[in-house]
Structure 1
Amino acid sequence: MTISPSAVGTATISATYNGVTRSAVLTVTSQSLLRITTNSPLPNARVGANYAGFIEACCGQGSGPIRWSLVNGTVPDGLRFAGNDLKLSQTTAVTGVATRVQTTTFTVRARDGAGNTATKTFTLTVDPASPLVITNGTDQLRDGNVGVAYQASLFPGGGTPPYSWSRIAGTLPPGLSVQASPGRVLGTPTTAGTYTFTVRVNDSGGQTASQQFTIRILP
């Protein structure tokens, strides 16, 4: 007797030997190979930084993409479970910008086109924000000219957005000011000269960073 690999049901098998017959019932059931292949824990997130932790499934049956759901627990604050929003055939993700340090545990379910399901529990840890720094790479902002509109950007790194900028020491060229957000020195300079000043950036997590800059205004 040959049984098809896709067969489901029962069959009676009989054998006779020396006039004695014995029978047995063989039951064939389907077995789904669907599984979630991504390991737990997911890669750590960091407060204030964009995050995407992908979760993948394999070996589903039936037609159509894997359908995803969050069935237990929660993802960290500021992040979201993407579910089916990625429009990928067998992948979902946890995405967003984490807002605080924490570790959470959550369970996701994958369902294939044949109705088979697989679940897996994940842990995701959020680390503290990176140290806040000013990343202009130089303390010399570009030159300006008297009577010509001027703008130079100030760049933060690390920390937790949003950021707020201010001048805390020194002298800006007359006619220029520091814009709080986004960080910029801008305006129309009125007096030639070389000016040195210090700016500070504050983030929403309480970190600060400061740096001294120089601007030369040409006649």
Structure 2
Amino acid sequence: MGMARSLVTAFLVGAMAIEASGAGQAQIDAARNKGLKWLLVQQRGDGSWRGSAGLEVTATSLVLEAFKNAGMRQGYHYGAAVAWLENSEVASVDSLARKISALSGTGVDLKADLDRLLSWQSVSFPYPNGSVWGAYDKFEMSFPDTALALKALRVSHYSYPTQDQELSAALCMILTSQRPDGSWGYGLVPAGSPVHTQAGAIFPTALTAMEIQGIITKKGWSSMTCNSISYPLATAVTKGISWLLSDTNKNSDGGFGANGVSDLLDTAVTYQALTAVNSSDPARDAALDYLVAAQDQTNGSWRNDPLQTALVLTSFTPANLVDLDQDGIPDGVESILGTNPSVADSRGLIKGDGLGVSGVTSPALLVSATMNRFFSINLTASGGTPPYTWGLVSGSLPPGVGLTGTTGTISGSPESVGTYPFLYSVTDHTGIGVISNARIDVAMPPVKTTGTETRYFGTLQSAYDSVEAGPPVIAHIVSGTLTEELIFDRGVAILLSGGLDESFSSRTGETVIQGSLTIRDGEVTADSITIN
């Protein structure tokens, strides 16, 4: 296996969540928040991330995994990434497998991608019906690609009639190819190959050991019989982990890498493998310290690369980070960005570089609603076989608003201000469906009245019309311009108090009423109001 292949494969590691025990938790939390912040501002307008040329799908897949690992399963950035990845074209096994793993659990229909992955199995395989893969469609087997493909099938919970038979054959190839020292290389070693091609490598060993452990956990299998020889699966994992921990790979700075030089990607995948088997070896803590210390303290990235940054972040303890405004950006990240954690404002971070496709990679605006004012809209569908059903895939509707699945009606009275992006699906009677990217914007109504009760209105006239005879009512008006014709013709007293901010908590300027004002009865007092 050439150096170029080794370097490319280094970017294709399957990330697993781990329990952090080396660096302090406060350090890990800070590193995660800074890393997520850097990824958010690096996202392109089409929803993707770009790292090394040709690795866009892998980079975007790993970032999506990092988001999910932090509990970020809603918002503009998450929705755009899911939409771009769902529509992305792939040419290699590793990018297809990574795409499937990242989109698992998002509500996207992955059957076509999974069937395609199965059709790409290697043809040069000594066992019949063996689920092994090479770098591309029907290429000769490689261990990293096989591990990634098996993981994609496992985490997507895909099943097909010959699955156990093929998985057993794949495990036999993996187990019988493990080297005496416990390692795996990048591919099968042909007879007569040079000695250096027969050495094991960190990436394929870590990936393969993790996938065998994943199969043990999911299937409950303990051993495989291959050519009449029994191979305990746990023993194969233990041998692989022992080789990873050998002095050949472990360095004095806490990192892992060949020839005494620690490498970020080698260290990350080794750390994940150690955690997958709950290793208590001190090298695990040292590896975590190495990863945290390797972060760029200026911008929060690792190596200024989305793929490597996401790979490290997927190694941190799974968490559901606090996101009070539910805009998809955790509060700790918002504090770094300087945005308001109480207002759903993630839309403002999306780059306007002309790459977004409305309704696909960028949310299409369904409605501009007003807080505390009822609205109702109907989602539409065409083609396929009626009747249709609608469902919320990810993200969230404004509090107080709901979706009726049988009719596609979104209705309610929003209870909070903000931008609410979400993915919704429409499925026909045969089960064929599509996913769309949408948003609802909720604005603060410009007028609030206080008296016997607090109420909100979209116009000053409607606020006045609601006032009944009795004690004077104060109409609080947001700073800016109201363009409307006003007729105050009832025997009620009202104080117009203008120039307020959108939360009605402080005065920021004047309110200008543009239009004719007719007062026929009652008493009207104006404060911080200009009437043109």
TM-score, normalized by the shorter chain, greater than 0.5: no
Give the structure with the larger strand fraction.
Answer: 1
TM-score by length of 1: 0.43
Q: Which one has the largest radius of gyration?
A: 1
TM-score by length of 2: 0.19
